[in-house]
Amino acid sequence: MSDPHEPQSYYDLLGIKPGAALEEIKRAYRRKVRTCHPDLNRAADPAHFKRVQRAYEVLRDPARRKRYDAAAGVATQNDFAAPDRSSFNRLLNNLCSSLQTALDNTQSTSRKRQGKSRRAG
C-alpha cells in the first residue's frame, strides 16, 4: 500500500481512472467516505478525509476537472479521439488557396516587369 503522506492524484485518492464518468466518481467518493470520514471511523485521519473531499469537489465539476487534468498532465480517452477532419481540411484548403494567390500575384508582377523592360529596350 502507498504512503498516506505521499502526494496522490485525485483519481488515485478515489480509486478511479482518469476517464471515469460522474456517476462512477460519486460512487467511489461515497465508498471512500465510509472508510475515511472521522465521524464514521475514529481511526481515520482528518487530513486524508479533507484530501478525498477536495478530490471529489474538483472531479465532480467538469470545468474544474478539466483545469486539474491540464495542470496535472492527465490524459483522458477524449485526448486520443480522432481529430476533426473537416477542420483540418478547411485549414489545408485555406493554406493552399493563400499559396496559390501568392503565386499568381508573383507571376503577374513578373509578367508586368518583363513587359516594361521589353518596351524600354
Buried b (16+ CB within 10 A) or exposed e, 72-111: eebeeeeeeeeeeeeeeeeeeeeeeeeeeeeeeeeeeeee
Is residue 67 located within the same domain as residue 116? no
Overall average pLDDT of the 99-105 stretch = 79
Indicate whether 44 pLDDT > 70.
yes
Half-sphere exposure for 58 (CA within 13 Å, toward CB): 20
Asked if 36 and 95 sit in the same domain, the reply is no
Amino acid at 59: L
| Type of residue found at 54 | R
Residues 53 and 107 in one domain: no
Scan for cell 476537472, then name that residue: 65
Quote the domain boundaries for residue 93.
82-121
The region of weakest confidence among 24-33, 62-71, 106-115 is 106-115
Report the percentage of the chain scoring pLDDT > 90: 44
Query: Same structural domain for residues 20 and 75?
Result: yes
Residue 42 has pLDDT above 50, yes or no: yes
